[in-house]
Structure 1
Amino acid sequence: MQDQITIAKKAAGEKAAEFIRPGMVVGLGTGSTAYWAIQKIGAMVQQGLDIKGIATSEASAQLAKELGIPLTSFAETQRLDMDIDGADEVSERLDVIKGGGGALLREKIVAFHSKQLIIIADEHKYVPTLGNFPLAVEVIPFGWEVTNSKLQTLGCVPTLRKKQQEIFITDNGNYIIDCAFGKIENPQQVHNALHNIPGIVETGLFVQMAHTVVLGYEDGSTKVLQR
């Protein structure tokens, strides 16, 4: 039996898929909520919807292939009509923290080149201020130790991400350092400070990038927020 969080995630993912129109190029997000959007999109394609997708991770690309969603690439198209992706936190200003799944770099590239970014999340991810969830920062392996030390000067507690006791490697061959900042009152300022450190490839802060947020609730209902 589905638990209530799964019901909320499924509701958000399926609601977001309703925004898709025939002929669109759609970004396919990564994570447990985006999974449900991709499942719904796959069902819509089976029913005759003509779209193409660009996946934000190897895992999402594999899922799309299994569901028969045609995939394209930035070599073939320069602009996406829509991107549907999950979030670890969404603030009342609709700023977002992403990266818990480790796909933040590709997620940001796809989001940046999309006309519309739709963020999907269960109700518990909606918070007054970002920061309870550690901020993922993707770094190149070379010199990660000094990058990690420099991160501490920004007032966070950085932790190198590991999976089964091994260093977690992104689809891009990089590491992730999870930074516990506490409350992030000025996300843009933090984002800019992080990008001033050589070795940092990208941050999980998506500042004023989301056009629409779809929140899913445990009773299966949804709420759509617009920026």
Structure 2
Amino acid sequence: MKIEKQNISNRVLEYLRKQIILGHFEKGDHLVEATLSKQLEVSRGPIREAIAKLEAENLVEKHSNGRTVVKRFDIIDIQNLYDSRILLETHALKQIDPDILEMNKSNLYLFVDLMQKSYEQKQRDIESDLAFHGYLVKLTDNHTLMQLWTSLKEVFRTLIDITSEVTESKQQEIIDQHVSIVESLAQGNVQQANKLLTEHLEDACHYCCEGKKSNIGRDDYVQSEN
């Protein structure tokens, strides 16, 4: 298991977060910098930075003896995160000014086009999916909503990563769901858009939970692009 040098800290963080969410690290497991450094073939610096961010995300905790241990993360925690996404994003749709949407809907379609192109190239496009949902929140110009989204963005990225592994055969359907959400908004049917968005995220939650149950990703390793 080796992590390449480009974007080491982020790669380490993404890897450890995913392993904790999937349950490959269990409650009470001690994250030892020296051990992880050896396993991932990186220095202790990126490990230390990643662990600090995991603590801020409430996925690990530091004990008084200096040990950092993994906190319990169950199916209910995935469900709670998706419930929070549904509340946040559906509330955002209600706050988007129709004129602002009209001026910016091409950007939403751009994210969809990027997902489509990646699908046709048999690639998973986590970033465009994440960007689509984040942009919906950004269009509200509600700084509190944007701050809430940003605070959970990296965890959402990992959930999308897990979900996309489970739904590789359903990617076209998922892309089409994004299109339908934008079309409903553009037609001024916010109620329908909210319904579609809720169903979309409920499905994503279901697949993410299935990913955890099936224990996917155990042999994954973090690797930068060439």
The structure whose Rg is larger is 2
TM-score, normalising length from structure 1?
A: 0.27
Give the structure with the larger helix fraction.
2
TM-score, normalising length from structure 2?
A: 0.27
Give the structure with the larger strand fraction.
1
